[in-house]
Amino acid sequence: MGISELKRSLLLALLLALAPISFALADKRVALVIGNSTYKNVGPLDNPANDATLMAQTLKDLGFVLTGGGALLNLDKRAMDDEVQAFGRQAQGADVAMFYYAGHGVQVRGSNYLVPVDANPSREADVDFQMVAMVLKITFALNVVERRSSAPAHDSELAGSKHQQSRRLPRRRNNRSP
């Protein structure tokens, strides 16, 4: 078994272990899979595109319909916003909706943000305009799946981790907004 097959098997096992029983019996399963690797203003990441491609294929094999038809790779801010909206529309009436993201991520003021490939924040206030807020956008898109299963998942490099390849945003010293 090659490394790619092993990864796929492990992802499949994890996905099935975390999913409720109804997941396997769900009639309508939708997913949004994004992998951002080639950033314009910070260091590239080696694995997100490969991980997203593997996850997309695994989900297709499980009967998911993917927003955009497969893994969406190296999305800028506009494309990420558009795909999240499309996912929200596609998730209406779904039994299961899953969001998977691999790429850079940051946490600012206790909120998590996904980093589009064109983001270039120079101050903390730029984050709200240049990045995708997990709670605001992803949760809103998934709220259309009322009383059904939803599974957000991300594999991101959060600012401050020892593996951080991007520059850090300035730390605030007070509670006032910039």
Each residue of 107-162: pLDDT tens digit?
Answer: 888 888 899 999 999 999 899 899 988 765 566 555 544 444 444 555 554 443 33
Predicted local confidence at residue 104, as pLDDT: 93
Pick the range with the lowest mean pLDDT from 15-29, 45-59, 73-87, 129-143: 15-29
- Domain membership flag for residue 55: yes
Predicted local confidence at residue 129, as pLDDT: 92
Pick the range with the lowest mean pLDDT from 51-65, 117-131, 161-175: 161-175
Number of domains in the chain: 1
Q: What is the pLDDT of residues 78-93, one digit of tens each?
A: 999 999 989 988 988 8
pLDDT band at 53 (very low <50, low <70, confident <90, very high): very high
- Domain membership flag for residue 163: no
- Domain membership flag for residue 92: yes
pLDDT band at 171 (very low <50, low <70, confident <90, very high): very low
- Domain membership flag for residue 79: yes
Q: For the chain, give the percent of residues with pLDDT over 90.
A: 40
- Expressed as residue numbers, the domain containing 64 is 3-158
pLDDT band at 7 (very low <50, low <70, confident <90, very high): low
Sequence letter at residue 63? G
- Domain membership flag for residue 38: yes
Q: At what angle do helices 48-61 and 3-18 cross, to 10 degrees?
A: 60
- Domain membership flag for residue 137: yes
Predicted local confidence at residue 165, as pLDDT: 36
- Domain membership flag for residue 57: yes
- Domain membership flag for residue 172: no
Q: How far apart (Å, rounded) are the C-alpha atoms in residues 4 and 20?
A: 26
CATH number at residue 8: 3.40.50.1460
Which residues, 6+ apart, have CB-to-CB distance to 36 below 8 Å?
Answer: 45, 48, 49, 73, 74, 75, 101, 102, 103, 104, 114, 115, 116, 117
